[in-house]
Structure 1
Amino acid sequence: MAGLRPDTPIPSEITLNQKSRRMDIVFDGVRYELSYEFLRVLSPSAEVRGHGPGQEVLQVGKQDVEIVGLEPVGNYAIRPTFSDGHDSGLYSWDILHDFCLRRDALWQDYLDRLAAAGASRDPAQCPPPPAKPVAKCGGAKA
């Protein structure tokens, strides 16, 4: 997680618009719109970004994702819960501010990576995720 830089503005308003599936966020009097899909596919979690360079996991089939919960984290971040169960992304004010300022470029980069992988935003065109291994007695995986 990126830390809160001292010069990062603090949002004065965060609103979830469920009908259009977007978060409206106001920084320094300017209103920005971030789609739920954008926030989900660019989550700052290790599940999405990995633990180091080259470990990123391309998120596919998230076009219809919704935010079903939003939790404040101290005075510096929020943690959304998405309809696909993802809830490990901690969105600090500096991450959200950066997303707002670079939304179009970040989105285009995501679309380019999706196209290069031959993947889709449409969940109907994506295979289901692999089942998580079940641990047996002694920690051995099934």
Structure 2
Amino acid sequence: MSGLTPDTPVPTGVVVHAVSRVLELQYADGASYRVPFELLRVYSPSAEVRGHGPGQETLQTGKRDVTITSLEGVGNYALQPTFSDGHSTGLYSWDLLYDLAVRQDELWAEYIAKLAAAGVDRDAPMAAPAAAHGHRH
């Protein structure tokens, strides 16, 4: 279920760098990756971001300054961060974290390309989902 294989590298250390806004993942082989919070946030595995099928992803914007306010381990297979914008439903499995870490340049480029294709600014505030909670404030 968790998508773990014996080949999935599990970090030996995870450090939240609040000031530089990166999540540092340290591995047993000495490798260390610094993954920006913004990248983690825009590639959140949650349904809220991913949607429920291809093409249903919600493009995330305005996350440049997002921080991780808390980080919890889920079993031995994932991390569940709470972000400063209130987002906390993403379960980041070790394989996803490793993928984000090693492919971050490629993923950044993909994100920037998606923004350009959608004609939206990276720092644009997210539109609130219409009537998501049944009533408007």
TM over 0.5: yes
Structure 1's 118 and 4: CA in aligned 2 closer, same or farther, altered over 3 A?
same
Structure 2: segments with no counterpart, 5+ residues? none
What aligned pairs does 1:24-103 form with structure 2 within 5 A after superposition?
Answer: 24-27=24-27, 28-103=29-104
For normalisation by structure 1, the TM-score amounts to 0.87
Query: Aligned residue for 1:139?
Result: none
Q: CA deviation at 1:10?
A: 0.8
Q: Percent identity?
A: 55
Structure 2 Cα separation of the partners of residues 22 and 78 of structure 1: 15
| Max Rg structure | 1
Query: Aligned residue for 1:19?
Result: 19
Structure 1: segments with no counterpart, 5+ residues? 137-142
Q: CA deviation at 1:49?
A: 0.9
- For 1:54-86, what per-residue CA distance to the aligned partner results, in whole angstroms no more than 9, with x for missing partners? 111100111111101101001111000001110
Q: CA deviation at 1:100?
A: 1.1
- For 1:101-140, what per-residue CA distance to the aligned partner results, in whole angstroms no more than 9, with x for missing partners? 1110011000110111121222xx436424544448xxxx
Structure 2 Cα separation of the partners of residues 106 and 134 of structure 1: 31
For normalisation by structure 2, the TM-score amounts to 0.90
* Secondary structure, counterpart of 2:48 in structure 1: helix
Query: Aligned residue for 2:3?
Result: 3
Structure 1's 128 and 52: CA in aligned 2 closer, same or farther, altered over 3 A?
closer
Aligned-residue CA RMSD (Å) = 2.0
- For 1:38-59, what per-residue CA distance to the aligned partner results, in whole angstroms no more than 9, with x for missing partners? 0000001111111111111100
